[in-house]
Amino acid sequence: MKLKKLKPVTNGTRHQINLQKNLLSKANRLIKKSMSGTKSMGGRSSDTGRITVWHKGGSCKKLYRDIDFSSRNFNGLVLFNTYDPKRNSFVSLNFDLDLHSFFYTISTNSVYPGSLITSSEFKNELRLGNRTCLEHIPTGSIVHSISSVKTNKTLFARSAGTYCQLIQKGSEFCKLRLPSGSIFNISIKSFATLGTVSNPQHNLICIGKAGKNRLLGIRPTVRGIAMNPVDHPHGGRTNGGRPSVTPWGIPTKGKPTVLKKKL
């Protein structure tokens, strides 16, 4: 995908940088059964209406695509890649050649429509988009959508442009370098997809104006020091030397562990 910088016709488009989505399909209504509507309360509880999650609310209605995160065996054909309003990566609509059904998966970068993808617990062809156990993947490979053996659900590297690297393999466990840089031990029976997640240029886009974030469901975030004393412990003209706390006075940067030196 190429980046597209808009012409500064208005103030909102002056610094706006978007992705050209001309390679994505618009036939997202091909199978309506795989979409479900979700009712969002905007960060508020359903019975009392109080805010339970800060800085959320007022977003546009979105339809959720039922993504297949399970580690089942299949032989599929990629029909097209499309945009998903619920996540920052693209999703692929696939056709199962064995069950003759449609299903959604997270798109792999450089896997285009018409490609054959397989998922098997046995050793198969190591190709972009194929899914298999970590014990069949060579050390140093780039993988994403790593699943857990216990829950059979995908846990790691699902966001746009992220990936994990297989750095060491043992008899029962292997070591993965996560997108955060930390090392994680996981069973070699866990499934993983070869390649990186699609839309790697997601971090290069520029929103351009606050109204676009409001449509995404993100409400303003106000600093505590900008409030009045009745609204926040940091409120008032100065902070007063107080350590960072929440609106209820709980320390936000962890409980102090260093003991003060006795005089």
Both 248 and 199 in one domain: the answer is no
Report the percentage of the chain scoring pLDDT > 90: 59
Claim to verify: residue 170 and residue 87 sit in the same structural domain:
yes
pLDDT in tens, 192-247: 999 999 999 999 999 999 999 999 999 999 999 899 999 999 888 765 678 889 89
Query: Within a domain: residue 104?
Result: yes
- From the CA atom positions of the chain, what is the Rg in Å? 23
For residue 18, is it within any domain? no
Whether 121 and 251 map to the same domain: the answer is no
212 part of a folded domain: no
How many other β-carbons are positioned within 10 Å of the β-carbon of residue 158? 18
> Which tops the pLDDT comparison, 98 or 28?
98
Bridge-based pairing of strands 183-187 and 173-177 is: antiparallel
What CATH number is attached to the domain comprising 169?
2.30.30.30
Domain interval for residue 261: 224-263
Q: What is the CATH number of the domain that holds 242?
A: 4.10.950.10
Residue in the block written with tokens 């299949």? 74
pLDDT at 47 over 90: no
Q: Are residues 131 and 94 in the same domain?
A: yes
Q: What is the dihedral of CA 245, 250, 254, 260, to 10 degrees?
A: 90
Residue 35 domain-assigned (yes or no): yes
Asked whether residue 186 falls in the same domain as residue 262, the answer is no
> Do 167 and 137 belong to one domain?
yes
pLDDT band at 64 (very low <50, low <70, confident <90, very high): confident
Same domain, 233 and 110: no
Instruction: Say yes or no: 169 and 78 in one domain.
Output: yes
Q: What's the predicted TM-score (pTM) here? A: 0.84
126 and 155 share one domain: yes
The answer as to whether 100 is a domain residue is yes
Look at residue 172 and tell me if it is in a domain. Answer: yes
Question: Do residues 19 and 3 make contact, with C-beta atoms less than 8 angstroms apart?
Answer: yes
Backbone angles phi, psi at 180, to 5 degrees: -75, -15
pLDDT digits (tens, 9 = 90+) for 160-187: 999 999 999 998 999 999 999 999 999 9
Claim to verify: residue 159 and residue 40 sit in the same structural domain? yes
Given a contact cutoff of 8 angstroms between Cβ atoms, the answer to whether 174 and 191 are in contact is no
Look at residue 15 and tell me if it is in a domain: no
The number of domains in the chain is: 2
Asked whether residue 157 falls in the same domain as residue 238, the answer is no
What does the pLDDT read at residue 5?
93
Answer whether residue 263 shows pLDDT above 70: no
Residue 196 CB burial class (10 angstroms; 0-12, 13-18, ≥19)? buried
Beta-strand relationship, 131-133 and 116-120: parallel
Judge if 112 and 32 occupy the same domain.
yes
Report, as an integer, the average pLDDT of 242-253: 88
Could you tell me if residue 53 is inside a domain? no
